C-alpha cells in the first residue's frame, strides 16, 4: 500500500484507527493487543507514553527547541543553551533526540514509546531517559520487552546509538508495517514538507540527504 504524502508525514490521521485512545496503523492493532496481553501475563501493565504524533505537533517541538522554549540536550542529556550555538549546532543537537517534522516514525501510528505503568514508583513521572530502562524502575520491563517484542511483530529501531538518533529503549516499532513506509520516505519527499514555518529551513533543505542518511535510514534493522 502506498501512502499519500500527507499520511506519510503526519499531516492527516484519517487512515489510522482509534483504539483505547490511541491512533494506530490498522495493521498493528492485533499485534499490539497481543503484546499488551503478553505483558499483562508477565506482570506488566503496558502504558503508552507517546503514540501517534502529528506533523504540527512535531513542528512545534522542533521550533520550540530551536528557539530555546523547550530544553535542548547534548549527547549526555545535559541542557544546552541554544543562544550559544549556531544554526548547524542547534539542528544537530535537536536531531539526536527529536525527529525532523515529517520524518518522525510517530507520524505513522506504528511506533510507540512504552513503559510499565505498574512499575513506575508513586509520585514519579516517567522521564524517558535511558537509565530508567537500564538500571531504574523500568529495567525488568525492558528485559522482558526485548525478549518478547519480536514474537509480537515489534522491534527497536533505536536499540543502539549508531551516531544518529540516540539510544531509545522505550521506542518500539512494528516491523512489517513500517518497512514500506520507510522505503517511501525519501529525502525528496521530506523536502516537500519543510516549509518556512520550520525553523532552520534553509540549512535543512541544503543538508537533507545528510540528515536522511544519518538520522532516518540509519536505524537498527531488528
Closer to Zn ion at the Cβ: 90 or 106? 106
Q: In sequence order, what DSSP letters do the residues of 77-95 get, joined into one string?
A: S-EE-GGGS-HHHHHHHHH
Task: Kindly report the backbone phi and psi dihedral angles of residue 160, in degrees, each rounded to the nearest multiple of 5, phi listed first.
Answer: -135, 150
Minimum CB separation from Zn ion for residue 83, in Å?
27
Minimum CB separation from Zn ion for residue 141, in Å?
16
Closer to Zn ion at the Cβ: 36 or 171? 171
Give the interface with Zn ion as residue ranges (CB under 5 A): 113, 171
Minimum CB separation from Zn ion for residue 53, in Å?
8
Closer to Zn ion at the Cβ: 85 or 126? 126
Nearest residue to Zn ion, using CB? 171
Closer to Zn ion at the Cβ: 81 or 157? 157
Minimum CB separation from Zn ion for residue 178, in Å?
12
Closer to Zn ion at the Cβ: 16 or 195? 16
State how far the alpha carbon of 26 is from the alpha carbons of 17, 60, 105, 170, 178, in Å: 6, 26, 15, 22, 12
Minimum CB separation from Zn ion for residue 106, in Å?
6
CA–CA separation, 105 and 157 (whole Å): 10
Grid-cell match 501493565, residue found? 45
User: Regarding beta strands 154-155 and 111-116, do their DSSP bridges make them parallel or antiparallel, or are they unpaired?
Assistant: unpaired
Closer to Zn ion at the Cβ: 179 or 205? 179
Minimum CB separation from Zn ion for residue 185, in Å?
16
Residue 99: Cβ-neighbour burial (10 angstroms; 0-12, 13-18, 19+): buried
Return the closest-CA partner of residue 99 out of 18, 203, 212. 212
CA–CA separation, 158 and 79 (whole Å): 21
Q: How many Å from the N-terminal Cα to the C-terminal Cα in the chain?
A: 22
Grid-cell match 537533507, residue found? 208
Amino acid at each position: 500500500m502506498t501512502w499519500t504524502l500527507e499520511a506519510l508525514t503526519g499531516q492527516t490521521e484519517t487512515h489510522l484507527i482509534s483504539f483505547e485512545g490511541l491512533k494506530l496503523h490498522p495493521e498493528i492493532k492485533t499485534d499490539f493487543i497481543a503484546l499488551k496481553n503478553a505483558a499483562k501475563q508477565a506482570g506488566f501493565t503496558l502504558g503508552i507514553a507517546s503514540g501517534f504524533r502529528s506533523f504540527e505537533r512535531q513542528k512545534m517541538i522542533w521550533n520550540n527547541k530551536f528557539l530555546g522554549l523547550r530544553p535542548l540536550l547534548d549527547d549526555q542529556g545535559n541542557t544546552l543553551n541554544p543562544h550559544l550555538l549556531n544554526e548547524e549546532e542547534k539542528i544537530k543537537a535537536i536531531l539526536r533526540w527529536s525527529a525532523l517534522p515529517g520524518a518522525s516514525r510517530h507520524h505513522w501510528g506504528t511506533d510507540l514509546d512504552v513503559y510499565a505503568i505498574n512499575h513506575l514508583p508513586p509520585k514519579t513521572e516517567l522521564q524517558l531517559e535511558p537509565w530508567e530502562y537500564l538500571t531504574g524502575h523500568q529495567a525488568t520491563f525492558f528485559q522482558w520487552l526485548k525478549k518478547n517484542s519480536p514474537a509480537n511483530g515489534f522491534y527497536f529501531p533505536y536499540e543502539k546509538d549508531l551516531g544518529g538518533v540516540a539510544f531509545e529503549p522505550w521506542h518500539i516499532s512494528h516491523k512489517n508495517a513500517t518497512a514500506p513506509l520507510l522505503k517511501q520516505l525519501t529525502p525528496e519527499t521530506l523536502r516537500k514538507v519543510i516549509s518556512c514555518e520550520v525553523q532552520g529551513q534553509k540549512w535543512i533543505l541544503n543538508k537533507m540527504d545528510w540528515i536522511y542518511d544519518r538520522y532516518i535510514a540509519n536505524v537498527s534493522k531488528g
